């Protein structure tokens, strides 16, 4: 293993990072490609966090109709520039998010979108369930909070496990694309339609 042209090329193919970034990562990691991949991911995620504060006012509307024509999805996905909105990577992300919405039926985009009254109602249900299960009163609130985390994972798009790789959350998928594309990406709105629902 080393920092030769073949290693740089392989790392670039596997990560999509720039040539200089790949070379620097290999130097930093002693030529170990696997460590260099992790190094680039960490760097990319740090950069992505900074980009997440920037305004995303461009983008596209995506649609998806499931093969049985009984489920359909509309999604507004925003980015910073029209240039990125036209890239294949951005379009692929929009398609993947639409398929996620069709399959997993999230009710909200993120935790922040859950109305306070809905959250309180859920917590109250979880408290009552814990008491019915005979849990001690002094830990009922902790149990309710734990179940709220599960509620977020089931009902918030960005907190859900990605349908193609359950070890990855949807928000991590979006963050990885922010790092790759170099622009902030925001899931703005979504709607899921199902026959008879």
pTM: 0.70
pLDDT tens-digit readout, 144-168: 888 888 999 999 999 999 999 999 9
pLDDT tens-digit readout, 75-132: 999 999 999 999 999 999 999 999 999 999 999 999 999 998 988 898 888 888 888 8
Q: Look up tokens 């109250």; give the residue.
A: 124
Q: Which of 15-24, 122-131, 132-141 has the lowest mean pLDDT?
A: 15-24
CATH class of segment(s) 115-154: mainly alpha
Helix and strand numbers, DSSP H then E, in the chain: 8, 5
Q: Which CATH architecture has domain 5-51?
A: Orthogonal Bundle (1.10)
3-state class (DSSP) for residue 17: coil
Top-confidence range, 32-36, 92-96, 182-186: 92-96
CATH number of 58-109+156-194: 3.30.479.20
Q: Which of 53-57, 114-118, 120-124, 191-195 has the lowest mean pLDDT?
A: 53-57
Which of 89, 59, 88 is CA-nearest to residue 76?
A: 59
Q: What is the DSSP letter of 116?
A: H
Sorted by where each begins, the domain ranges of the chain are 5-51, 58-109+156-194, 115-154
The span from the CA of 161 to the CA of 14, in Å, is 23
């Amino acid at each position: 293993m080393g920092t030769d042209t073949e290693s740089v090329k392989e790392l670039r193919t596997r990560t999509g990072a720039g040539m200089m970034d790949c070379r620097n990562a290999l130097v930093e990691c002693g030529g170990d490609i696997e460590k260099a991949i992790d190094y680039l991911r960490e760097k990319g995620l740090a950069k992505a966090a900074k980009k997440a504060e920037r305004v995303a006012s461009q983008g596209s509307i995506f649609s998806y109709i499931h093969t049985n024509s009984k489920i359909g999805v509309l999604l507004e996905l925003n980015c910073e520039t029209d240039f990125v909105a036209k890239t294949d990577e951005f379009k692929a992300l929009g398609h993947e998010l639409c398929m996620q919405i069709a399959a997993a039926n999230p009710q909200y985009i993120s935790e922040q979108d859950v109305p306070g009254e809905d959250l309180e109602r859920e917590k109250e249900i979880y408290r009552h369930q814990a008491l019915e299960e005979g849990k001690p009163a002094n830990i009922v609130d902790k149990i309710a909070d734990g179940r709220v985390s599960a509620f977020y994972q089931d009902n918030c798009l960005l907190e859900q496990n990605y349908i193609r790789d359950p070890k990855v959350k949807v928000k991590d998928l979006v963050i990885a694309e922010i790092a790759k594309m170099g622009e902030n990406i925001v899931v703005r709105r979504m709607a899921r339609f199902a026959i008879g629902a």
